[in-house]
Amino acid sequence: MKKVLLAFDGCHFSNGVFEFVKNMNQNQKVLAIGMFLPSIDYVELLYSFGGVPAGPVYVSENIVTDEESLKQNILHFEKLCAENGIKYQVHKDFSKHIVTSICEETRFADLLVLSADTFYENLGEDSQDDYLANVLHKTECPVVLVNEKYKAPENIIMAYDGSEQSVFAIKQFSNLLPEYVNNNILIAYFDSGKGGVPEKQEIEEYLALSYSKLAVLKLKINIKKDLEQWLELNGNTMVVAGAFGRSLISELFKKSFIYEVIRQHNIPIFIAHK
C-alpha cells in the first residue's frame, strides 16, 4: 500500500487530483491523505510586512478561506473515497508556512499529487508559479502534477539526458506506478547537439526489464516553440522527469523543460529529485 498526499488549497477541490488517485487505487491500494490547506499563506503574508504588522492586514474577500466551503469539500472527499473503496485520512490544521507544511508531510509519504491548474491560482500566475517552484524544489517524495481534465495516459514520455536526476526520476516512476508496464514508453533525449543519446544501451537495457513497448529517441526541437505541438502529436501522454534538485533560481526554473510542460497545464507530469 502506498501513502499518497492529495493537496487542495482553500476552497478548491481538484477533480483531476482525485481522479489520478482513484485510478492508482484501482491498480494498487493506497492510503489517500486529503490535505486541505488555507486559501492564503498567512505566515508568509506576515513576513511580507516585515513581521507582525502594527495595523490590520486586509485580505481580499475572494482569497479568505470559506469555512463552509472547506467543510463541504472535505465531506465530498470523504464521500468519493468511500464510494471508490479508498482508505483515507483528512489533514486540515496547518499553522506553519504552507510550503513547509506540505514538505514536512512528504517526508513520510510515497507520492504528492497537485493540480497544475488550481493550486493557489487565486493568488495570480506569478505567485502560483512561486508556490509550485518552492514545493517541487523542497518536497521529499515524488510529485505528480495533473490538470482538471485528467485521464489515464496511454503513452509515457521519459525525459532523459543521462544525468543522475533523470535516471532517478525514471526509477521512482517505475517503482511507484507499476500499472503502466504495458503502456507505450518513449525515452526522449532533448538535445540540439550532434552527439548521440548518452548511455543509450544502458538505459534501454534497464527499462526493457520492466517495459515491453519501449523506444529511445533523440529530439531536436525548440522547447518553447514546438514542445506543445510535439506532445499533442503523441496523444494521451504523461511526462516523467527529474528536476529542481539544483538551487531554486527563478530564471533557471523558467527556462527549463519542466517549466514549459507545467505552464501548458495540458498533460500530467511525474517529477522526482534527490
Supply the range of the domain harboring residue 221.
155-272
Q: What is the pLDDT of residues 98-157, one digit of tens each?
A: 778 888 999 999 999 998 876 655 554 555 566 677 788 888 999 999 988 888 899 998
With H, G, I as helix, E, B as strand and everything else as coil, classify residue 33. strand
Mark which of 100, 124, 146 sits at the end of a domain: 146
Question: Do residues 134 and 241 share a domain?
Answer: no
Stretch 176-191: mean pLDDT, rounded? 89
- Rounded Cα distance between 215 and 74, Å, is 43
Instruction: Give the domain CATH number at 71.
Output: 3.40.50.620
Asked whether residue 62 falls in the same domain as residue 142, the answer is: yes
Distance of alpha carbon 22 from alpha carbon 20, whole angstroms: 5
Using DSSP bridges, classify how beta strands 269-272 and 155-159 pair: parallel, antiparallel or unpaired: unpaired
**φ/ψ of residue 156, rounded to 5:** -120, 120
The residue out of 89, 119, 146 marking a domain boundary is: 146
- pTM, two decimal places: 0.83
Do 13 and 52 belong to one domain?
yes
Identify whether residues 58 and 119 lie together within a single domain.
yes
Q: What is the Rg, in whole angstroms, of the alpha carbon atoms belonging to the chain?
A: 19
Whether residue 186 sits in one domain with residue 106? no
Angle at which helices 223-233 and 257-264 pack, to 10 degrees? 60
Spatial CA neighbour of 128 closest among 115, 137, 141, 139: 115
Mean pLDDT rounded to a whole number for the chain: 78
Residues 222 and 125 in one domain: no
Q: pLDDT tens digits, residue range 19-51?
A: 999 999 999 999 999 999 876 654 444 343 344
Question: What pLDDT does residue 40 have?
Answer: 61
Most confident range (mean pLDDT) of 15-24, 92-101, 184-193 is: 15-24
Which pLDDT value is given to residue 109? 97
Tell me how far apart the alpha carbons of residues 37 and 120 are, in angstroms, rounded to a whole number: 10
Helix axes 164-176, 200-208, angle to 10 degrees: 10
pLDDT digit string, tens, across residues 59-89? 444 444 467 888 889 999 999 999 999 999 9
* pLDDT for res 205: 95
Same-domain status, 13 and 137: yes
Best CA proximity match to 174, nearest among 191, 161, 156, 160: 156
State whether 45 and 15 are in the same domain.
yes
In the chain, the amino acid numbered 21 is V
Q: Total domain count for the chain? A: 2
Let me know: does 39 contact 49? Beta carbons within 8 Å.
no
